């Protein structure tokens, strides 16, 4: 239970940053997906210091896939 709360907070924070980046991309005349991809690059394992645990990265990846499929379903 002690590790669940920080993980939920981090997922929520990354989703908030992704939403803001998507909004900024739309304001710039680009699709929101570019903002989401930029956020994904910022929290990727190639960025030093943010994601040290691979399991934590898998949680982010699963949430990202769910949100992407949800957005594709809305567009249909």
Model pTM above 0.75? no
Instruction: Say how far apart CA 36 and CA 21 lie, in whole Å.
Output: 6
Structure tokens that stand for 42 in this block:
């910022």
Structure tokens that stand for 8 in this block:
């939920």
The tens digit of pLDDT for each residue in 40-60 reads 888 776 766 665 566 767 777
**Confidence band for 24, pLDDT divided at 50, 70 and 90:** very high
Are the beta carbons of 35 and 22 closer than 8 angstroms? yes
pLDDT at residue 15, as a whole number? 84
Are the beta carbons of 42 and 50 closer than 8 angstroms? yes
């Amino acid at each position: 239970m002690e590790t669940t709360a920080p993980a939920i907070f981090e997922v929520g924070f990354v989703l908030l940053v992704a939403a803001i980046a998507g909004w900024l991309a739309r304001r710039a005349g680009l699709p929101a997906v570019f903002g989401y991809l930029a956020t994904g690059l910022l929290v990727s394992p190639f960025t030093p210091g943010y994601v040290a645990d691979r399991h934590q990265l898998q949680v982010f990846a699963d949430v990202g896939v769910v949100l992407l499929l949800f957005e594709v379903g809305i567009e249909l």
